[in-house]
Amino acid sequence: MTVAPDTPLVIGIDIGTSGARAVAMDAGFSIVASGSSRMADFSVDHRDPLAWWKALQTALGQVLDAIDRQRVRAIAIDGTSGTILPVGTDGAPLAVPMMYNDPVADADILTRITTHAPQESAAHGATSGLAKVLTFQSIPDAFRIIHQADWLAGHFTGLYDVSDENNALKTGYDPAERRWPDWIDRTAARRDLLPDVLPAGTPIAGISPGAADAFGLPDDVVIVTGTTDGCASFLATGAGQPGDAVSALGTTLTVKMLSDRPLFAPEYGLYSHRIGDMWLAGGASNTGGGVLSAHFDNGTISALSGQIDPSTQTGLDYYPLLKDGERFPINDPQFKPRMTPRPESDADFLKAIFEGIAGVEALAYQRLVSLGSPALRSVRTVGGGAKNPVWTAIRNHAMPVPFLPVISEEAAAGTARLALSGARSAGVL
Protein backbone atom coordinates (compact mmCIF):
# COMPACT_ATOMS: atom_id res chain seq x y z
CA MET A 1 0.00 0.00 0.00
CA THR A 2 1.26 3.45 -0.90
CA VAL A 3 1.32 5.91 1.97
CA ALA A 4 1.44 9.68 1.49
CA PRO A 5 4.84 10.98 2.65
CA ASP A 6 3.30 13.13 5.37
CA THR A 7 0.90 10.49 6.76
CA PRO A 8 1.44 9.95 10.50
CA LEU A 9 1.55 6.31 11.58
CA VAL A 10 1.35 4.31 14.78
CA ILE A 11 2.61 0.82 15.51
CA GLY A 12 0.93 -2.00 17.39
CA ILE A 13 2.92 -5.04 18.54
CA ASP A 14 1.49 -8.38 19.66
CA ILE A 15 3.57 -10.87 21.64
CA GLY A 16 2.16 -14.38 21.69
CA THR A 17 3.54 -17.69 22.88
CA SER A 18 4.75 -18.63 19.39
CA GLY A 19 6.02 -15.31 18.10
CA ALA A 20 5.57 -11.60 17.55
CA ARG A 21 3.48 -9.59 15.08
CA ALA A 22 3.68 -5.89 14.36
CA VAL A 23 1.61 -3.56 12.19
CA ALA A 24 1.81 0.08 11.16
CA MET A 25 -1.58 1.78 11.00
CA ASP A 26 -2.73 5.19 9.79
CA ALA A 27 -5.39 7.35 11.41
CA GLY A 28 -8.07 5.78 9.21
CA PHE A 29 -7.33 2.31 10.69
CA SER A 30 -5.69 1.10 7.48
CA ILE A 31 -2.77 -1.29 7.98
CA VAL A 32 0.10 -0.08 5.80
CA ALA A 33 2.83 -2.54 6.80
CA SER A 34 3.23 -5.68 8.87
CA GLY A 35 5.95 -7.93 10.19
CA SER A 36 6.23 -11.20 12.07
CA SER A 37 8.74 -13.51 13.70
CA ARG A 38 8.83 -16.91 15.38
CA MET A 39 9.89 -17.28 18.97
CA ALA A 40 11.49 -20.62 18.15
CA ASP A 41 14.04 -18.83 15.98
CA PHE A 42 15.55 -17.32 19.12
CA SER A 43 14.99 -19.90 21.87
CA VAL A 44 13.49 -23.30 22.48
CA ASP A 45 12.01 -21.85 25.68
CA HIS A 46 9.03 -19.52 25.21
CA ARG A 47 9.61 -18.34 28.80
CA ASP A 48 12.90 -16.71 27.77
CA PRO A 49 12.44 -12.90 27.96
CA LEU A 50 15.40 -12.36 25.65
CA ALA A 51 13.53 -14.38 22.99
CA TRP A 52 10.48 -12.13 23.49
CA TRP A 53 12.62 -9.08 22.90
CA LYS A 54 14.42 -10.51 19.87
CA ALA A 55 11.13 -11.60 18.33
CA LEU A 56 9.74 -8.09 18.89
CA GLN A 57 12.84 -6.48 17.37
CA THR A 58 12.55 -8.66 14.28
CA ALA A 59 8.84 -8.05 13.68
CA LEU A 60 9.18 -4.33 14.37
CA GLY A 61 12.23 -4.09 12.14
CA GLN A 62 10.28 -5.54 9.22
CA VAL A 63 7.59 -2.90 9.67
CA LEU A 64 10.06 -0.05 10.00
CA ASP A 65 11.91 -1.16 6.86
CA ALA A 66 8.64 -0.86 4.92
CA ILE A 67 7.71 2.68 6.02
CA ASP A 68 9.23 6.09 6.61
CA ARG A 69 10.31 5.79 10.24
CA GLN A 70 10.02 9.54 10.72
CA ARG A 71 6.24 9.24 10.39
CA VAL A 72 5.86 7.04 13.47
CA ARG A 73 4.04 8.83 16.29
CA ALA A 74 3.25 6.15 18.88
CA ILE A 75 3.83 2.50 19.80
CA ALA A 76 1.76 0.15 21.98
CA ILE A 77 2.34 -3.50 22.92
CA ASP A 78 0.04 -6.32 24.01
CA GLY A 79 1.12 -9.50 25.77
CA THR A 80 -0.28 -12.78 27.03
CA SER A 81 -2.60 -12.19 29.97
CA GLY A 82 -1.19 -13.37 33.28
CA THR A 83 2.44 -13.73 32.17
CA ILE A 84 4.50 -12.33 35.06
CA LEU A 85 8.17 -11.71 35.87
CA PRO A 86 10.14 -10.01 38.67
CA VAL A 87 12.67 -7.38 37.61
CA GLY A 88 15.44 -5.24 39.06
CA THR A 89 15.59 -1.44 38.80
CA ASP A 90 17.16 -1.74 35.34
CA GLY A 91 14.46 -4.11 34.13
CA ALA A 92 16.69 -7.18 34.26
CA PRO A 93 14.63 -10.34 34.90
CA LEU A 94 15.39 -11.88 38.30
CA ALA A 95 13.74 -15.26 37.68
CA VAL A 96 12.26 -17.33 34.89
CA PRO A 97 8.86 -15.77 34.09
CA MET A 98 5.65 -17.62 34.81
CA MET A 99 3.52 -17.80 31.68
CA TYR A 100 -0.20 -17.17 31.49
CA ASN A 101 -1.00 -20.88 31.89
CA ASP A 102 1.66 -21.77 34.48
CA PRO A 103 -0.11 -22.74 37.73
CA VAL A 104 1.05 -21.90 41.23
CA ALA A 105 1.13 -25.08 43.31
CA ASP A 106 1.54 -23.46 46.75
CA ALA A 107 -1.72 -24.24 48.57
CA ASP A 108 -1.12 -21.50 51.16
CA ILE A 109 -0.90 -18.83 48.47
CA LEU A 110 -4.08 -20.01 46.79
CA THR A 111 -5.91 -20.17 50.13
CA ARG A 112 -4.92 -16.59 50.97
CA ILE A 113 -6.34 -15.37 47.66
CA THR A 114 -9.51 -17.44 48.03
CA THR A 115 -10.01 -16.11 51.56
CA HIS A 116 -9.55 -12.42 50.86
CA ALA A 117 -10.32 -11.75 47.18
CA PRO A 118 -13.93 -10.81 46.40
CA GLN A 119 -15.78 -13.53 44.54
CA GLU A 120 -15.96 -11.43 41.36
CA SER A 121 -12.21 -10.75 41.25
CA ALA A 122 -10.24 -12.18 38.34
CA ALA A 123 -7.35 -12.89 40.75
CA HIS A 124 -8.78 -16.27 41.74
CA GLY A 125 -7.19 -19.45 40.46
CA ALA A 126 -3.79 -21.10 40.32
CA THR A 127 -2.78 -19.26 37.13
CA SER A 128 -3.72 -15.78 38.35
CA GLY A 129 -1.23 -12.95 38.23
CA LEU A 130 -1.62 -12.35 41.95
CA ALA A 131 -0.66 -15.94 42.79
CA LYS A 132 2.51 -15.41 40.76
CA VAL A 133 3.26 -12.11 42.53
CA LEU A 134 3.06 -13.92 45.87
CA THR A 135 5.41 -16.57 44.49
CA PHE A 136 8.01 -14.08 43.25
CA GLN A 137 7.92 -11.40 45.94
CA SER A 138 10.55 -12.99 48.20
CA ILE A 139 13.22 -12.81 45.49
CA PRO A 140 16.09 -10.56 46.68
CA ASP A 141 16.48 -7.13 45.05
CA ALA A 142 13.11 -7.25 43.32
CA PHE A 143 12.10 -3.77 42.16
CA ARG A 144 8.74 -4.62 40.59
CA ILE A 145 6.78 -7.69 39.53
CA ILE A 146 5.30 -6.85 36.16
CA HIS A 147 3.53 -8.29 33.15
CA GLN A 148 5.04 -9.33 29.83
CA ALA A 149 3.73 -6.28 27.95
CA ASP A 150 4.97 -3.96 30.74
CA TRP A 151 8.50 -5.37 30.48
CA LEU A 152 8.67 -4.98 26.72
CA ALA A 153 7.27 -1.44 26.84
CA GLY A 154 9.95 -0.65 29.42
CA HIS A 155 12.60 -1.33 26.77
CA PHE A 156 11.26 1.71 24.93
CA THR A 157 10.87 4.05 27.92
CA GLY A 158 13.35 2.81 30.52
CA LEU A 159 10.41 2.54 32.95
CA TYR A 160 9.66 -0.86 34.41
CA ASP A 161 6.97 0.11 36.89
CA VAL A 162 3.95 0.85 34.66
CA SER A 163 1.14 -1.46 33.56
CA ASP A 164 -2.32 -1.21 31.99
CA GLU A 165 -5.73 -1.99 33.44
CA ASN A 166 -6.26 -5.09 31.31
CA ASN A 167 -3.01 -6.91 32.12
CA ALA A 168 -3.38 -5.95 35.79
CA LEU A 169 -6.89 -7.41 36.11
CA LYS A 170 -5.80 -10.97 36.95
CA THR A 171 -3.23 -9.55 39.37
CA GLY A 172 -6.11 -8.21 41.48
CA TYR A 173 -6.50 -4.68 40.14
CA ASP A 174 -9.98 -3.21 40.60
CA PRO A 175 -11.03 -1.68 37.25
CA ALA A 176 -14.21 -0.15 38.67
CA GLU A 177 -12.37 1.77 41.43
CA ARG A 178 -9.26 2.08 39.23
CA ARG A 179 -6.82 1.14 41.96
CA TRP A 180 -5.11 -1.75 43.72
CA PRO A 181 -7.72 -2.72 46.32
CA ASP A 182 -7.06 -2.89 50.05
CA TRP A 183 -7.85 -6.60 50.28
CA ILE A 184 -4.60 -7.34 48.43
CA ASP A 185 -2.70 -6.37 51.59
CA ARG A 186 -4.51 -9.12 53.52
CA THR A 187 -3.10 -11.74 51.14
CA ALA A 188 0.38 -10.56 52.26
CA ALA A 189 1.20 -9.42 48.72
CA ARG A 190 3.76 -6.62 48.73
CA ARG A 191 2.01 -3.58 47.30
CA ASP A 192 5.36 -1.83 46.78
CA LEU A 193 6.25 -4.41 44.12
CA LEU A 194 3.08 -3.83 42.09
CA PRO A 195 3.28 -1.51 39.06
CA ASP A 196 1.46 1.77 38.65
CA VAL A 197 -1.58 1.17 36.47
CA LEU A 198 -2.92 3.37 33.67
CA PRO A 199 -5.95 2.87 31.40
CA ALA A 200 -5.23 0.99 28.18
CA GLY A 201 -4.32 3.44 25.42
CA THR A 202 -2.76 6.03 27.77
CA PRO A 203 0.59 7.70 27.01
CA ILE A 204 3.30 6.39 29.36
CA ALA A 205 6.28 8.47 28.30
CA GLY A 206 8.31 9.52 25.30
CA ILE A 207 10.65 7.01 23.75
CA SER A 208 14.07 6.85 25.41
CA PRO A 209 17.03 8.24 23.46
CA GLY A 210 18.61 4.80 23.37
CA ALA A 211 15.52 3.14 21.90
CA ALA A 212 15.02 5.97 19.40
CA ASP A 213 18.60 5.55 18.18
CA ALA A 214 18.40 1.76 18.07
CA PHE A 215 15.30 1.75 15.89
CA GLY A 216 15.94 4.95 13.94
CA LEU A 217 12.77 6.55 15.30
CA PRO A 218 12.00 10.21 16.01
CA ASP A 219 12.69 11.35 19.57
CA ASP A 220 9.07 12.47 20.03
CA VAL A 221 7.49 9.00 19.60
CA VAL A 222 5.07 8.27 22.45
CA ILE A 223 4.91 4.86 24.13
CA VAL A 224 1.33 3.99 25.01
CA THR A 225 -0.08 1.44 27.45
CA GLY A 226 -1.18 -1.71 25.69
CA THR A 227 -3.49 -4.54 26.70
CA THR A 228 -3.83 -8.31 26.79
CA ASP A 229 -3.71 -10.35 23.61
CA GLY A 230 -7.40 -11.26 24.01
CA CYS A 231 -8.55 -7.65 24.31
CA ALA A 232 -6.30 -6.67 21.40
CA SER A 233 -7.86 -9.34 19.18
CA PHE A 234 -11.32 -7.94 19.96
CA LEU A 235 -10.30 -4.37 19.18
CA ALA A 236 -8.69 -5.47 15.91
CA THR A 237 -12.06 -6.41 14.49
CA GLY A 238 -13.34 -2.82 14.52
CA ALA A 239 -15.97 -3.33 17.21
CA GLY A 240 -16.30 -0.08 19.10
CA GLN A 241 -19.82 0.56 20.43
CA PRO A 242 -21.84 -0.92 23.31
CA GLY A 243 -23.62 -3.99 21.98
CA ASP A 244 -20.94 -4.74 19.38
CA ALA A 245 -19.98 -8.39 19.73
CA VAL A 246 -17.30 -10.70 18.41
CA SER A 247 -17.75 -14.46 18.15
CA ALA A 248 -14.65 -16.61 17.82
CA LEU A 249 -15.54 -19.86 16.06
CA GLY A 250 -12.53 -22.01 16.71
CA THR A 251 -12.26 -25.37 18.44
CA THR A 252 -14.53 -23.85 21.06
CA LEU A 253 -16.96 -20.92 20.91
CA THR A 254 -16.00 -17.66 22.62
CA VAL A 255 -18.27 -14.63 22.70
CA LYS A 256 -17.31 -11.11 23.72
CA MET A 257 -19.34 -7.91 23.84
CA LEU A 258 -18.70 -4.27 24.59
CA SER A 259 -20.86 -3.02 27.43
CA ASP A 260 -21.53 0.36 28.97
CA ARG A 261 -21.30 -1.22 32.43
CA PRO A 262 -19.10 -3.92 33.97
CA LEU A 263 -20.38 -7.47 34.11
CA PHE A 264 -19.08 -9.86 36.77
CA ALA A 265 -20.52 -13.35 37.15
CA PRO A 266 -17.93 -15.64 38.75
CA GLU A 267 -20.26 -18.63 38.44
CA TYR A 268 -19.68 -18.38 34.69
CA GLY A 269 -16.02 -17.35 34.87
CA LEU A 270 -17.19 -13.96 33.60
CA TYR A 271 -15.40 -10.71 34.37
CA SER A 272 -14.92 -7.44 32.51
CA HIS A 273 -11.93 -5.62 31.12
CA ARG A 274 -12.10 -1.83 31.11
CA ILE A 275 -11.34 -0.19 27.76
CA GLY A 276 -11.81 3.56 27.81
CA ASP A 277 -15.28 4.28 29.14
CA MET A 278 -16.56 0.86 28.11
CA TRP A 279 -16.24 -2.70 29.35
CA LEU A 280 -15.41 -5.88 27.47
CA ALA A 281 -17.19 -8.93 28.83
CA GLY A 282 -17.45 -12.42 27.47
CA GLY A 283 -17.62 -16.11 28.06
CA ALA A 284 -16.41 -19.38 26.59
CA SER A 285 -18.53 -22.42 25.72
CA ASN A 286 -17.35 -25.98 25.22
CA THR A 287 -19.22 -26.21 21.93
CA GLY A 288 -17.61 -25.17 18.66
CA GLY A 289 -15.58 -26.45 15.76
CA GLY A 290 -14.14 -29.30 17.80
CA VAL A 291 -17.55 -31.00 17.63
CA LEU A 292 -17.64 -30.59 13.84
CA SER A 293 -14.15 -32.00 13.36
CA ALA A 294 -15.06 -35.04 15.47
CA HIS A 295 -17.58 -36.01 12.78
CA PHE A 296 -16.35 -34.49 9.51
CA ASP A 297 -13.08 -33.33 7.98
CA ASN A 298 -12.83 -29.86 6.44
CA GLY A 299 -13.34 -31.09 2.88
CA THR A 300 -16.48 -32.97 3.81
CA ILE A 301 -17.86 -29.96 5.71
CA SER A 302 -17.31 -27.81 2.63
CA ALA A 303 -18.96 -30.32 0.30
CA LEU A 304 -21.94 -30.99 2.57
CA SER A 305 -22.45 -27.27 3.18
CA GLY A 306 -23.22 -26.91 -0.51
CA GLN A 307 -26.21 -29.23 -0.01
CA ILE A 308 -27.69 -27.22 2.88
CA ASP A 309 -30.51 -24.71 2.53
CA PRO A 310 -29.92 -22.27 5.41
CA SER A 311 -33.38 -20.70 5.02
CA THR A 312 -35.06 -23.83 6.43
CA GLN A 313 -34.60 -25.53 9.79
CA THR A 314 -34.22 -29.17 10.76
CA GLY A 315 -36.36 -28.80 13.86
CA LEU A 316 -33.73 -30.68 15.87
CA ASP A 317 -32.73 -29.19 19.21
CA TYR A 318 -29.03 -30.01 19.43
CA TYR A 319 -26.61 -28.81 22.09
CA PRO A 320 -23.37 -30.01 20.49
CA LEU A 321 -20.61 -31.02 22.92
CA LEU A 322 -17.77 -33.52 22.74
CA LYS A 323 -18.38 -34.72 26.30
CA ASP A 324 -20.35 -33.91 29.43
CA GLY A 325 -19.86 -30.44 30.92
CA GLU A 326 -20.50 -26.84 29.92
CA ARG A 327 -19.12 -23.50 31.14
CA PHE A 328 -21.12 -20.77 29.43
CA PRO A 329 -23.93 -19.85 28.77
CA ILE A 330 -24.85 -22.78 31.05
CA ASN A 331 -22.58 -23.53 33.98
CA ASP A 332 -22.94 -27.23 34.67
CA PRO A 333 -19.99 -29.67 34.79
CA GLN A 334 -22.49 -32.53 34.33
CA PHE A 335 -24.38 -30.98 31.41
CA LYS A 336 -24.92 -33.63 28.73
CA PRO A 337 -24.62 -33.18 24.97
CA ARG A 338 -27.77 -33.33 22.85
CA MET A 339 -27.03 -34.69 19.39
CA THR A 340 -29.85 -37.13 18.73
CA PRO A 341 -31.73 -38.20 16.77
CA ARG A 342 -29.21 -38.33 13.94
CA PRO A 343 -30.74 -37.78 10.50
CA GLU A 344 -29.96 -40.33 7.80
CA SER A 345 -28.48 -37.56 5.64
CA ASP A 346 -24.98 -36.38 6.57
CA ALA A 347 -25.90 -32.94 5.22
CA ASP A 348 -28.89 -32.75 7.56
CA PHE A 349 -26.73 -33.93 10.46
CA LEU A 350 -24.17 -31.21 9.73
CA LYS A 351 -26.97 -28.66 9.42
CA ALA A 352 -28.34 -29.69 12.82
CA ILE A 353 -24.90 -29.23 14.38
CA PHE A 354 -24.58 -25.80 12.74
CA GLU A 355 -28.00 -24.89 14.14
CA GLY A 356 -27.12 -26.21 17.57
CA ILE A 357 -23.90 -24.21 17.85
CA ALA A 358 -25.74 -21.14 16.56
CA GLY A 359 -28.37 -21.68 19.25
CA VAL A 360 -25.70 -21.84 21.96
CA GLU A 361 -24.14 -18.65 20.56
CA ALA A 362 -27.50 -16.86 20.64
CA LEU A 363 -28.13 -18.10 24.19
CA ALA A 364 -24.68 -16.85 25.21
CA TYR A 365 -25.51 -13.32 24.12
CA GLN A 366 -28.91 -13.56 25.79
CA ARG A 367 -27.07 -14.55 28.97
CA LEU A 368 -24.87 -11.45 28.75
CA VAL A 369 -27.99 -9.30 28.36
CA SER A 370 -29.60 -10.99 31.39
CA LEU A 371 -26.45 -10.14 33.37
CA GLY A 372 -26.72 -6.44 32.46
CA SER A 373 -25.12 -5.95 29.04
CA PRO A 374 -26.74 -3.85 26.30
CA ALA A 375 -28.85 -5.54 23.67
CA LEU A 376 -26.89 -7.26 20.93
CA ARG A 377 -26.19 -4.63 18.26
CA SER A 378 -23.90 -6.39 15.77
CA VAL A 379 -21.77 -9.50 15.40
CA ARG A 380 -18.30 -9.82 13.89
CA THR A 381 -16.81 -13.28 13.48
CA VAL A 382 -13.25 -14.56 13.65
CA GLY A 383 -11.83 -18.06 13.46
CA GLY A 384 -12.23 -20.87 10.96
CA GLY A 385 -16.02 -20.93 11.15
CA ALA A 386 -16.23 -17.39 9.82
CA LYS A 387 -15.32 -18.68 6.37
CA ASN A 388 -18.43 -20.87 5.96
CA PRO A 389 -21.26 -18.77 4.39
CA VAL A 390 -23.93 -21.39 5.07
CA TRP A 391 -23.10 -21.53 8.77
CA THR A 392 -23.01 -17.71 8.82
CA ALA A 393 -26.53 -17.58 7.34
CA ILE A 394 -27.79 -20.06 9.94
CA ARG A 395 -26.19 -18.03 12.70
CA ASN A 396 -27.66 -14.80 11.36
CA HIS A 397 -31.10 -16.40 11.44
CA ALA A 398 -30.57 -17.22 15.12
CA MET A 399 -29.28 -13.70 15.83
CA PRO A 400 -31.05 -11.25 13.48
CA VAL A 401 -28.62 -8.33 13.80
CA PRO A 402 -26.07 -7.01 11.30
CA PHE A 403 -23.18 -9.42 10.74
CA LEU A 404 -20.27 -7.14 9.95
CA PRO A 405 -16.84 -7.77 8.40
CA VAL A 406 -13.76 -7.51 10.59
CA ILE A 407 -11.08 -4.91 9.96
CA SER A 408 -8.41 -7.41 10.96
CA GLU A 409 -7.89 -10.64 12.87
CA GLU A 410 -4.40 -9.51 13.91
CA ALA A 411 -4.15 -8.70 17.62
CA ALA A 412 -1.41 -6.21 16.71
CA ALA A 413 -4.01 -4.18 14.83
CA GLY A 414 -6.09 -3.87 18.00
CA THR A 415 -3.05 -2.68 19.89
CA ALA A 416 -2.36 -0.18 17.10
CA ARG A 417 -5.85 1.24 17.74
CA LEU A 418 -4.77 1.88 21.34
CA ALA A 419 -1.60 3.55 20.03
CA LEU A 420 -3.80 5.84 17.93
CA SER A 421 -5.84 6.77 20.99
CA GLY A 422 -2.70 7.49 23.00
CA ALA A 423 -1.16 9.52 20.17
CA ARG A 424 -4.27 11.69 19.97
CA SER A 425 -4.41 12.30 23.70
CA ALA A 426 -0.70 13.16 23.69
CA GLY A 427 -1.27 15.65 20.88
CA VAL A 428 1.15 14.01 18.46
CA LEU A 429 -1.47 12.93 15.95
CATH code for the domain defined by 9-231+411-426: 3.30.420.40
Which pLDDT band, with edges at 50, 70 and 90, does 181 fall under?
A: very high
Query: Given CA atoms 385, 387, 389, 392 in this order, what sign does their dihedral have?
Result: positive
Helix (H) or strand (E) holding 34: strand 31-38
The phi, psi pair for 2, rounded to 5°, reads -85, 130
**Per the CATH hierarchy, to which homologous superfamily does domain 241-404 belong?**
ATPase, nucleotide binding domain (3.30.420.40)
- pLDDT score of 4: 58
307-337 per-position pLDDT tens digit: 999 999 999 999 999 999 999 999 999 999 9
Q: How is 313-345 classified by DSSP, letter by letter?
A: ------B--SSS-B-SSS-BTTPPPB--SPPSS
Which tens digits make up the pLDDT trace of 187-226?
999 999 999 999 999 999 999 999 999 999 999 999 999 9
Banded model confidence at residue 3, pLDDT cuts 50, 70, 90: low
Q: Record the pTM.
A: 0.93
Does the pLDDT of residue 244 top 80, yes or no? Answer: yes
Q: Looking at the chain, which residues constitute the CATH 3.30.420.40 domain(s)?
A: 9-231+411-426, 241-404
pLDDT tens-digit map of 129-169: 999 999 999 999 999 999 999 999 999 999 999 999 999 99
Please compute the mean of the pLDDT values over residues 352-381 and round it to a whole number: 97
**Mean pLDDT computed over every residue of the chain:** 96
With cut-offs at 50, 70 and 90, classify the pLDDT of residue 41.
very high
The tens digit of pLDDT for each residue in 55-110 reads 999 999 999 999 999 999 999 999 999 999 999 999 999 999 999 999 999 999 99
